[in-house]
Every structure is written in structure tokens, then in C-alpha cells.
């Protein structure tokens, strides 16, 4: 079984993925694959060609410098996605082929990247917009403007929900979210017998 776990930036996809990991699922983290790709020569060169050598520190892509460009400009963020996502999908497919476990793919733009054919079932994690913004601000990694740019580059939450086989509302407690994960796993087992 291959699950896709997606949702808006800050909705809690990674938290949900960890709950599936506790229940034996192998987690494929699309962001982690993306970060590793910055060190792959072909991908690195494409990113440098698009954004210039100003994103380098000691001949390596400096994600902080790149972040300053793309998280303030929707168009630039889309350009980066067009470079990265085909490569991320290849990385995901490679892990799927080598695994014999149930898999959950943690990816913010699974729908936007046309990666739905990779998954058997799609889980969309949602959160109340005030909860989402508060979580992201409290992390201290992003400004309000950066958060709004990232969110505006993604499919809106209500549109993502239209693709969902399962929806997890992650606006409340971790225990509440965990109960929803348990119900989904139970439903998947029943439907696959």
C-alpha cells in the first residue's frame, strides 16, 4: 500500500507521517529527497543556471540564499519546483521499487507535481487557517510574508480536499490526530481484505 500524505504548508503532514511510521509504514520525505538533490551534479547545475551563482556558498547551493529568492516570489518558487519535482519523483520511485513495506509519501505538492499516479490512496491533512499560521510563526523559520508566498504557490486547501481519499483534521490535539490515523489504517485493512 502506498499512501500519499499532503496538505497545505504547516497543516501537519510530517506529524501525520510520523504517526504512520509508528505503525510500520516506511516514510518517504519529499523535502529530504529535494535537499539531497542539491548535491547531485545535474540538478545542482540546473538550479545554478536558473538562479545564478549568487545562491552558492563554498561552491554548494546555500538553501538560505535560495530561500530568500524563492520564498518572496511565487514565480521563482514555481521555477524551482519545475526543476526539482521531476527529480524528486524519480527519487520517490526508486525508494518504492526497493521497498517491501507499506509506504507513506510525505509531500506538500503531491497534487501540483502530478504525482498522484504514485499513490494508492491520498490523505489530505488540513488545519484551520489560524492554527496553521500560528504554528508556522511559532516555528520562527519564516516571516508572515514568506508563509503567504509559499501558501499562495500551492493549491488551496479546499481544492486539495477534493482529491482526498481520506481527510485528517490536524487542528486539535495530537491525540485527536492519532485517533484519525488509527481509523484510516483500520479502514485500509478492511478494504484490502
116 within 8 A of 163, measured Cβ to Cβ? yes
Structural contact between residues 116 and 110, judged by C-beta atoms closer than 8 angstroms: yes
**Residue 127 backbone class (left: φ over 0; alpha: ψ -120 to 50; beta: rest):** beta
Query: Which is it for the CA torsion 103, 107, 111, 115, positive or negative?
Result: negative
pLDDT at position 145: 82
Domains located in the chain, CATH noted: 2-188 (3.40.50.300)
DSSP 8: S
Q: In angstroms, what CA-CA distances link 11 with 62, 86, 129, 148?
A: 26, 24, 9, 14
Taking only the tens of pLDDT, the chain with its 193 residues reads 999 999 988 899 999 999 999 999 999 999 999 999 999 999 999 999 999 999 999 999 999 899 889 887 888 988 998 999 999 999 999 999 999 999 999 998 899 888 999 999 999 999 988 888 888 888 888 888 888 888 887 888 899 999 999 999 999 999 999 999 999 999 998 887 6
Specify whether the CB–CB gap between 109 and 152 falls below 8 A.
Answer: no
Output DSSP code: residue 171: S
> What is the DSSP code (8-state) at residue 56?
E
pLDDT of residue 193: 64
Kindly report the pTM of this predicted structure. 0.89
Q: CA torsion sign, 91 to 93 to 97 to 99?
A: positive
Bridge partners, residue 121, by sequence: 3
Residue located via cell numbers 501537519: 12
Number of Cβ within 10 Å of residue 174's Cβ equals 12
Amino acid at each position: 500500500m502506498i499512501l500519499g500524505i499532503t496538505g497545505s504548508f504547516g497543516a501537519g503532514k510530517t506529524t501525520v507521517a510520523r504517526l504512520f511510521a509508528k505503525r510500520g509504514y516506511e516514510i518517504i520525505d519529499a523535502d529530504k529527497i529535494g535537499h539531497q538533490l542539491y548535491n547531485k551534479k545535474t540538478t545542482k547545475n540546473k538550479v545554478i543556471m536558473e538562479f545564478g551563482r549568487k545562491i552558492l556558498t563554498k561552491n554548494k547551493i546555500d538553501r538560505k540564499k535560495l530561500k530568500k529568492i524563492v520564498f518572496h516570489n511565487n514565480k521563482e518558487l514555481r521555477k524551482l519546483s519545475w526543476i526539482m519535482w521531476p527529480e524528486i519523483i524519480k527519487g520517490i520511485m526508486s525508494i518504492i521499487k526497493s521497498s517491501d513495506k507499506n509506504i507513506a509519501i510525505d509531500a506538500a505538492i503531491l497534487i501540483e507535481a502530478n504525482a498522484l499516479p504514485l499513490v494508492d490512496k491520498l490523505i489530505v491533512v488540513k488545519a484551520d487557517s489560524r492554527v496553521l499560521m500560528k504554528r508556522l510563526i511559532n516555528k520562527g523559520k519564516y516571516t508572515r510574508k514568506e508563509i503567504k508566498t509559499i501558501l499562495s504557490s500551492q493549491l488551496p486547501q479546499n481544492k486539495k480536499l477534493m482529491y482526498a481519499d481520506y481527510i485528517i483534521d490536524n487542528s486539535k490535539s495530537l491525540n485527536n490526530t492519532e485517533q484519525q490515523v488509527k481509523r484510516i489504517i483500520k479502514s485500509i485493512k478492511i478494504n484490502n481484505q
